Amino acid sequence: MAVGALLGLLAMRPAAASNWPSVLARARGQHVYFDAWGGSERVNAYIAWVSRQVAACCDVTLREVPLEDTAQAVTQVIAEKAAGQNHAGTIDLIWINGPNFDALKRRGLLYGPFAQRLPNDRLVRRSDPEIRYDFTVPVDGYESPWRTAQLVFVYDSAYVKHVPLDIRAFPAWARRHPGRFTFPQVQNFLGVAFLEQALYALAPNPAVLLRPVTPAAFAQASAPLWAWFAQLRPYLWRHGREYPASGPAERQLLEDGEIDLMPSFDPASAAAAVLAGRLPKSVRTVVLRGGTLGNASFVAIPYNARHKAGAMVVANFLLSPAAQARAGEIRALGGPTVLDLKALTDAQRARFQAQAKDPWMPPPAALRHVLPEPHPSWAVRLAAAWERRYTP
Amino acid sequence: MTGGVTLAARAQRADDGRRPRAWLRHAPRITVALFLVPIGAGLLGTALPAFGWLPGLHPRHWTLSPWRALWAAPGFGTAVGLTLMSGLSATILAVVLTFGCCAHLSHRPPGRLVRGLMGPILAAPHAAMAIGVGFLLAPSGWIVRLLSPWLTGWHQPPDIATVQDPYGIALTVGLLVKEIPYLLLMSLSALGQVPARRQLEVAAALGYGRTSAWLKLVLPQLYAQLRLPIYAVLAYALSVVDMALILGPSNPPTLSVLALRWFSSPHVQMYFPAAAAALLQLGIVAASIAAWRAGEVLIASLARRWIARGARHSVLEPLAALARGVVGGLMLLGASSLLALAVWSVAAVWRFPDLLPQRWSGAVWHQQAGTILWPLGTTLLVAAAASAAALLLVLACLEQEQRCGAPVRSRMLWLLYVPLLVPQIAFLFGTQVLFTVLRLDGTLLAVIWSHLLFVLPYVFLSLSDPWRALDPRYARTALALGSSPARVFLRIKLPLLLRPVLVAAAVGVAVSIDQYLPTIFAGAGRVVTLTSEAVTLASGGDRRVTGVFAVLQSVLPLAGYGLAVLVPRLKRGPWRAGSIS
């Protein structure tokens, strides 16, 4: 056992490259079932593009399994474990991060570590903490990044000229624009992300957010948040009694003119919506002063996946400069790449730098300042505390 | 009189001479087994975690802590109140309005407008209808746009909770839009078995008004056949998930949405209160049905006195006219909701307060054309297979029951309704584990089987009462004349009951197309139907793409209903279905 582990350690880097042809060979002809949140048409279209590419290059058939909620995939793997289905699981690859990753990793329901075995892994921007840690949980090679996301704010400049660039300024702005701002319900990741962003700005010592939550730490860190929220809530959309279900549902409210300002976890979402005619050209995207929460999206392979080799080929393709450059286009996914541009050849780099700037995207410099996601336990505690206080 | 008895006796002998085939004799047992296994597993999978035990994952001791957690959950009391209020008021209003409408229309069949609107509304899946109704009622919706800004002065939508209101009124309206046409359809198909016209003529001759005559004479005969459809509506309204997600409030939502929320949490410990909530939901449904039954008894005893008194009420007439007007308004709302979705599917830019899109575009249809074929084919295949299987089983059960003259025991009958009473999310988790054990999960067969659980009860509900109400003398006469039971079934019963049989098949297809949770659970997400795709996209809040899917989802079952109505009409002659009464 110990010898095996030692051998594995020694073999890690060199063996990765030499093993890859055998992974490619095993992947040939495999059907990879990719469970991904299917609520975004842009992501679905991008995955359809990826599936055409991996079919052409590697003879892998990629089938997207569109989910309403990524937790469904977690439930599925847990149900399979419960049923003793340990070898022929139905899911080969999951678009995952944060609490869902933590839930599976903690139970040992993920295959790996596999990320280091992907040839394109060496191109990844390892310097970024949000790529090494997923909501502070060490990635440890159990998932591989494929895109990044960051909290931004989208507003309609036809109706409002100035929006708050500081969490502390939100209550005053809302009082001047009653009913024109809201954020998704706290059961949604974006809703809790907005509250966590406020926690970062208001907590006496934000460093505690990176450690697992304790009752004492939570009480201390959240006290200013509740005072702040008490000032904000009466001026929210529907007087803070009702909240939209998700980010896309809130985009619909912005299109309908029910609100003027909304958070989004996808810096390119507003730009893409403008290009698709789903938001007016007057929308703008901003990042708060001092930076906002950001994270990377990953793919992981369940412990019982039937087509692990095919899944690794897809994960590797997602990290290829071609796939990342395509993802960076606004009409595809938009948003910064997970690759280290310095590790690329000049020709590859050119494709990233050629990407056009437009008025609906946040200024690129603003996206540099990323705050790491708090430990997943904070989101759970924060949502529960919010529910206790504000659910009639 | 004697002749009749002799005929019956001879028919009985003829029946005895030809014993039913073995498979037919086992039909009820096969049907029940197809149900009991997945539902038993599903219920076990709900009940065990509700008492602290989750097989394979949390080997724990028995405990009541899931119930304590449920009790302490924020908004639990409000959620239960909301569930009861929206579910009960939707059912009571749906029943009262349906009966009022039927009473008002007793002298003639429903107008072409009502019939024309009923089809698409029945056919549209609940989720699609909810999205459409949501758009109509919203403060930025079609109704407000129609009046803005010229009347209201609003250039921006007002901040009023006209959907997702804390009292669940929008949810109740949405449920009414969907459930009234269903009850109307069931009433119309049952009315074929009641000699209403002749009785109403007699009552009119005795000086009774139209409405009171209908209520006193026809309704008591009709109600027995409508009881189970009404219970199904009651159970559905109390435990609906997709409509409540879209039209109901979220802080807190209804109990079933709360359970769904916890079931889909990545934190396994949330399964325990989720399971307890699901069991409680079952209890609420059971208690509500029991209360409804008690209400039936009470009203029946009061009504008997009312009927016996023989008063000729004139106040009922305007009330029935009002009910008919409300039903017409709700149908208009439903039809406009579907129209709104169709418009959204071709809208490029459409902002408040524009009544119609500023720019139109076929881009969404164009984008979806390539991706839609596969789910479309799957949807049709699953719906056809599930309703064919259901029809076969139901007909076999009913035929077996008539041949041996013993009605299916009511206890067994109730088993059939279990899938309509248990919250789907709760028992589907356990069913999914069963499919996984059988290595069936993610297969088409599993999806068809799980759809069958929901299709079969509705097929049975819509077919059993007309089937049983068929005058047995037709069959006896044919048997006495020497026909085999199989020939009687094929040449007498089926043609006579063609309309209810086809309506039942169409109901089956529509129910199958409507299924969301069974598709994603049994299909492990791999079997993608129009509905699973549409709800997934609806979670993305995109009305345009949802519009494309909703239009297709509505057209498919509509084609089924269209056939069910058209085929018997084309088939003129002595076996025409309409000729029974």
Mean pLDDT (whole number) for B36-63: 77
Each residue's pLDDT tens digit, B440-490: 878 899 999 999 988 998 888 778 878 888 888 888 888 899 888 888 888
Which of B133, B129, B111 shows the shortest CA–CA distance to B120?
B129
* B177 pLDDT higher than 90: yes
Interchain proximity A278–B263, CB inside 8 Å: no
Q: Which tokens belong to B57?
A: 């994952």
Asked if the structure places residue B304 within a domain, the reply is yes
What's the domain count of chain B?
A: 2
Asked if the structure places residue B579 within a domain, the reply is no
* A358 pLDDT higher than 90: no
* A1 pLDDT higher than 90: no
B485 three-state secondary structure = helix
Interchain proximity A84–B524, CB inside 8 Å: no
**B7 and B80 both lie in a single domain:** no
Residue for token pair 């690859």: A93
Interchain proximity B541–A39, CB inside 8 Å: yes
Give the count of beta carbons closer than 10 Å to the beta carbon of residue B13: 11
Interchain proximity A65–B441, CB inside 8 Å: no
Q: Mean pLDDT across chain B, nearest whole number?
A: 83
Asked if the structure places residue B70 within a domain, the reply is no
Interchain proximity A252–B543, CB inside 8 Å: yes
Interchain proximity A392–B166, CB inside 8 Å: yes
Give me the pLDDT at residue B575, please: 44
Give me the pLDDT at residue B4, please: 41
* Ramachandran area for residue B164 (φ above 0: left; ψ -120 to 50: alpha; else beta): left
* B5 pLDDT higher than 60: no
Domain boundary among B361, B376, B401: B361
Beta-strand runs (E) in A216-369: 261-264, 283-286, 292-300
First-residue to last-residue Cα distance in chain B = 21
What is the C-alpha separation between B124 and B116, in angstroms, rounded? 14
Interchain proximity B539–A248, CB inside 8 Å: yes
Per-residue pLDDT band for A174 (boundaries 50, 70, 90) equals very high
Per-residue pLDDT band for B579 (boundaries 50, 70, 90) equals very low
* B17 pLDDT higher than 80: no
Give me the pLDDT at residue A5, please: 38
The separation between CA B551 and the C-alpha centre of its own chain, rounded to angstroms, equals 19
DSSP H or E stretch at residue B151 = none
Interchain contact A166–B (C-beta under 8 A): no
**Region of poorest pLDDT, from A321-330, B388-397, B488-497:** B488-497
Give me the pLDDT at residue B407, please: 62
Please tell me which of A2-6, A26-30, B117-121, B131-135 the model is most confident about, judged by mean pLDDT: A26-30
Decide which of A350 and A230 is more confident.
A230
What residue in B sits closest to A80 (Cα-Cα)?
B436
Q: Mean pLDDT across chain A, nearest whole number?
A: 89
The ipTM is: 0.81
Give me the pLDDT at residue B493, please: 87
Q: Nearest by CB to B74, which of A48, A71, A387?
A: A387
Length of chain A in residues, anyone? Answer: 392
Give me the pLDDT at residue B334, please: 94
Give the count of beta carbons closer than 10 Å to the beta carbon of residue B372: 17
Give me the pLDDT at residue B8, please: 45
**B390 and B264 both lie in a single domain:** no
What is the C-alpha separation between A339 and A120, in angstroms, rounded? 9
What is the C-alpha separation between A373 and A200, in angstroms, rounded? 10
* A334 pLDDT higher than 70: yes
Asked if the structure places residue B581 within a domain, the reply is no
Interchain proximity B159–A256, CB inside 8 Å: no
Which of A332, A322, A320 shows the shortest CA–CA distance to A268?
A332
Per-residue pLDDT band for B13 (boundaries 50, 70, 90) equals very low
Which of B184, B228, B303 shows the shortest CA–CA distance to B468?
B228
3-class secondary structure per residue, B404-458: CCCCCCHHHHHHHCHHHHCCHHHHHHHHHHHHHHCCCCCCHHHHHHHHHHHHHHH
Work out the widest C-alpha separation in chain A, in whole angstroms. Answer: 67
Asked if the structure places residue B120 within a domain, the reply is yes
> Cα–Cα–Cα angle for B269, B273, B277, nearest 5°?
150
Q: Nearest by CB to B161, which of A238, A252, A277?
A: A238
Beta-carbon contacts of residue B174 (< 8 Å; ≥ 6 apart):
B129, B130, B133, B134, B243, B246, B247
Whether the ω angle into residue B557 lies within 30 degrees of 0, i.e. cis, is: no
DSSP A266: -
Per the structure, the complete domain to which residue B546 belongs is given by: 1-63+363-573
Interchain proximity A243–B245, CB inside 8 Å: no
Domain boundary among B308, B342, B361: B361
**B412 and B332 both lie in a single domain:** no
Which of B516, B504, B448 shows the shortest CA–CA distance to B131?
B516
CATH number at residue B207: 1.10.3720.10
**B466 and B550 both lie in a single domain:** yes
Window 294-353 of A, Cβ < 8 Å to B: none
> Which residue type occupies B319?
L
**B114 and B247 both lie in a single domain:** yes
DSSP H or E stretch at residue A145 = strand A143-150
- B57 contacts in A (CB within 8 Å)? 78, 81-82
Give me the pLDDT at residue A65, please: 87
Please tell me which of A152-161, B105-114, B115-124 the model is most confident about, judged by mean pLDDT: A152-161
Interchain proximity B54–A82, CB inside 8 Å: yes
Q: Nearest by CB to B537, which of A39, A65, A380?
A: A39
Asked if the structure places residue B346 within a domain, the reply is yes
Each residue's pLDDT tens digit, A82-109: 878 898 888 999 999 888 999 899 999 9
Per-residue pLDDT band for B581 (boundaries 50, 70, 90) equals very low
Mean pLDDT (whole number) for A121-138: 90
Which of B337, B452, B336, B439 shows the shortest CA–CA distance to B394?
B452
What residue in A sits closest to B155 (Cα-Cα)?
A257
**B119 and B187 both lie in a single domain:** yes
Per-residue pLDDT band for B566 (boundaries 50, 70, 90) equals confident
Interchain proximity B249–A245, CB inside 8 Å: no
- Are A34 and A63 in contact by the 8 Å Cβ rule? The answer is yes
**B194 and B320 both lie in a single domain:** yes
A283 beta partners:
A156
Q: Which tokens belong to B551?
A: 């239009």
**B369 and B357 both lie in a single domain:** no
Decide which of A350 and B288 is more confident.
B288
Window 70-89 of A, Cβ < 8 Å to B: 70-76, 78-85, 88
Give me the pLDDT at residue A7, please: 37
**What is the least distance, in Å, from the CA of A66 to any CA of chain B?**
7
Domain boundary among B361, B394, B429: B361
**B357 and B464 both lie in a single domain:** no
A110 beta partners:
A302
Give me the pLDDT at residue A324, please: 95
Interchain contact A255–B (C-beta under 8 A): yes
- A307 contacts in B (CB within 8 Å)? none
Mean pLDDT (whole number) for B233-253: 90
**B404 and B272 both lie in a single domain:** no
Mean pLDDT (whole number) for B548-561: 81
pTM of the model: 0.84
Backbone angles phi, psi at A286, to 5 degrees: -130, 160
Decide which of A140 and B457 is more confident.
A140
Each residue's pLDDT tens digit, B313-327: 678 888 988 998 999
Asked if the structure places residue B20 within a domain, the reply is yes
Give me the pLDDT at residue A246, please: 86
What is the C-alpha separation between B122 and B553, in angstroms, rounded? 11
Interchain contact A39–B (C-beta under 8 A): yes
The separation between CA B366 and the C-alpha centre of its own chain, rounded to angstroms, equals 33
Decide which of B109 and A191 is more confident.
A191
Give me the pLDDT at residue A222, please: 96
Per-residue pLDDT band for A282 (boundaries 50, 70, 90) equals very high
**B41 and B149 both lie in a single domain:** no
Window 179-208 of A, Cβ < 8 Å to B: 179, 185, 187
Which of A306, A343, A309, A308 shows the shortest CA–CA distance to A324?
A343
Q: Nearest by CB to B140, which of A257, A277, A380?
A: A257
Mean pLDDT (whole number) for B53-58: 65
| Structural domains of chain A in order of their starting residue, each with its CATH number | 20-148+295-358 (3.40.190.10), 152-294+370-390 (3.40.190.10)
| Integer angstrom CA distances of residue B358 from A36, A254, A277, B322 | 34, 17, 11, 38
- Are A114 and A27 in contact by the 8 Å Cβ rule? The answer is no
Interchain proximity A84–B251, CB inside 8 Å: no
| Integer angstrom CA distances of residue B468 from B191, B225, B402, B461, B497 | 14, 10, 8, 12, 10
What is the C-alpha separation between B110 and B125, in angstroms, rounded? 23
Disruptive mutation site among B137, B251, B441 for chain A (greatest number of A CBs within 10 Å):
B251
Give me the pLDDT at residue B311, please: 80
**Region of poorest pLDDT, from A109-113, A332-336, B362-366, B434-438:** B434-438
Buried residues in B231-258 as b, exposed as e (16+ CB within 10 A) = bbbbbbbbbbbbbbbbbbbbbbbbbbbb
Mean pLDDT (whole number) for B547-554: 83
What is the C-alpha separation between B96 and A253, in angstroms, rounded? 36
**B238 and B125 both lie in a single domain:** yes
Asked if the structure places residue B544 within a domain, the reply is yes
- B159 contacts in A (CB within 8 Å)? 178-179, 237-239, 258
- B345 contacts in A (CB within 8 Å)? none
Each residue's pLDDT tens digit, A200-252: 999 999 999 999 999 999 999 999 999 999 999 999 999 999 999 888 889 99
Give me the pLDDT at residue B58, please: 58
What is the C-alpha separation between B267 and A148, in angstroms, rounded? 24
Beta-carbon contacts of residue B358 (< 8 Å; ≥ 6 apart):
B348, B349, B350, B351
A37 beta partners:
A67
